[in-house]
Amino acid sequence: MIIRVSPRPARSPQAAAPDDPHPLCQLPSACELALAQVTVAAHVAAWPACALGYRDGQAVHVTSRGDVMAGGLTTLFLRGDVMPGRGIDQILPHPGDPELREASADDARTYVRLAERASGPIPGPVGFCWPWGDALQVLDDLAPDVRVINLETSITRSGDFAPGKPAHYRMSPANLPCVAAIRPDACALANNHVLDFGHAGLTETLAALAAAGLPAAGAGRDAAQARQPVAIALRGGGRAVIFSCGTSSSGIPARWAATGTRPGVDFLPDLGEAAADNVIARVRAARQPGDIAVVSIHWGSNWGYGVDRDQVRFARRLIDGGVDLIHGHSSHHPRPVEIYRGKLILYGCGDCIDDYEGISGYEQYRDDLRLLYFASILPGTGELAGLRMVAMQVRKMRLHHARPADSQWLAMVLGQISRRYGSRIDLESGGALTLRP
């Protein structure tokens, strides 16, 4: 069985609150609506005969003469760790129980105070859209066809703390509009926090998402449901088929694996050939002609720019087997990007929404900087036409456009760590990072 999602309907204009620049939300302060302008020396190189461009908010083919070719592209918005629990939950309109059982904190509001110490007071309660900030306008401007996030929290009122976990993430079900604000088409749940409050918490999470009309993959009441992909119908025909799975290297306990009789996540026991072939077989069984197959994987450590060899082999084997895009996440900062046989591999998308602001340590990785990934895929082949990455910075638990110098730093670092994979990162005059085949 596959969870099917209809094509995204056209959004009708809505009246905005007087102090709300975005029609979907009420925000306590105005958004910065323009991308930062930056002048950067460009690489001088011959562009391919067919490049990526945008017309009327849609990705299109553009020839070297500037002609727009017939047939649009499918653009996917991909994000790493979306963690609206714990401290984020406490600033939203309906905060849940703040109790924590961490070595250094017993109250989730501790993380709010840390963020305020770093960036200043946070007005509370904030609107549901507050954490997304300027990202909402970016999404409206680029209008992706499909939106995929790694939703990394338990959505529950349960107080059943999972044993052996150093940190637990919990968001009140009444705050779920915060997730719905970006209209995700698929929420990947195979991660190391979705069962932070046990099977009861997972059951409530799945029920809350279903009631809100937010399709999920990677977790379920049993193994069959946990392995079900989400299929999103595309306007030009075909579907985007999203699978979600995770490994122990990201912190997922093996006991969280769903079985025939036990709720849990789609857990990969290892990254060997047999595990890859099992995923490939499921992708082949689900996909239809014209589909784009995406495997969203929660893997790897939190810090460091290196990619384990088994991750590289696993990702490439999936591509060899017919997968079109690898959406990796777990690291708190971006990791290398690769184009393998024309297909995109994101080894680690980094954090997006969380309550880490003000926590000291690992400052050299600049985890206050975040990237929004927009991958445009060629119809029919599943090959990458272009990847655009919009740099953001978190301040007061809210995403803002990154400053020009920070965008330049991200482009430099991502370019350096991706070079060994044959990838070149450019910085556009408008501040966006780009990767082109």
pLDDT digits (tens, 9 = 90+) for 135-147: 999 999 999 999 9
Question: What stretches of 26-122 adopt beta strand conformation (E)?
Answer: 50-55, 58-63, 74-82
Per-residue pLDDT, 52:
57
Q: What's CA 193's distance to the chain center, in Å?
A: 15
Question: What stretches of 39-120 adopt beta strand conformation (E)?
Answer: 50-55, 58-63, 74-82
Buried-exposed string 84-111: b where 16+ CB fall within 10 A, e elsewhere: bbbbbbbbbbebbebebeeeebeebbbb
Per-residue pLDDT, 200:
97
- What is the phi/psi pair of residue 93, to 5°? -60, -30
Q: How far apart are CA 24 and CA 31, in angstroms?
A: 13
Per-residue pLDDT, 10:
37
Buried-exposed string 167-205: b where 16+ CB fall within 10 A, e elsewhere: bbbbbbbebbbbbebbbbbbbbbbbbbbbbbbbbbbebb
Per-residue pLDDT, 72:
83
**Helix (H/G/I), strand (E/B), else coil: 404:** helix
DSSP 427: E
Quick one: tokens of 124?
Answer: 């509370």
Q: What's CA 422's distance to the chain center, in Å?
A: 23
Given a contact cutoff of 8 angstroms between Cβ atoms, the answer to whether 143 and 58 are in contact is yes
Q: What's the chain's Rg over C-alpha atoms? A: 20
Quick one: tokens of 79?
Answer: 């994000």
**434 CB contacts (<8 Å, ≥6 apart)?**
52, 386, 387, 388, 389, 425, 426, 427, 428
Q: What's CA 111's distance to the chain center, in Å?
A: 22
**Helix (H/G/I), strand (E/B), else coil: 143:** coil
Quick one: tokens of 434?
Answer: 């780009």
- What is the phi/psi pair of residue 40, to 5°? -135, 140
Per-residue pLDDT, 436:
77
**Helix (H/G/I), strand (E/B), else coil: 172:** coil
Amino acid at 259: T
Per-residue pLDDT, 337:
98
Per-residue pLDDT, 379:
87
Spans of the chain, pLDDT less than 50 = 6-24, 26-51, 55, 61-70
Question: What stretches of 25-166 adopt beta strand conformation (E)?
Answer: 50-55, 58-63, 74-82, 146-151, 154-155
Helices (H), 151-252: 177-180, 198-211, 223-226
Per-residue pLDDT, 429:
87
pTM across the whole model: 0.87
Quick one: tokens of 345?
Answer: 């591999």
| Helix (H) or strand (E) segment spanning residue 407 | helix 404-418
**431 CB contacts (<8 Å, ≥6 apart)?**
35, 36, 37, 38, 390, 391, 401, 402, 404, 407
Pick from 317, 340, 312, 356: which is nearest to 80 by CA?
Answer: 356
Helix axes 309-320, 273-286, angle to 10 degrees: 30
- What is the phi/psi pair of residue 294, to 5°? -120, 130
Per-residue pLDDT, 2:
63
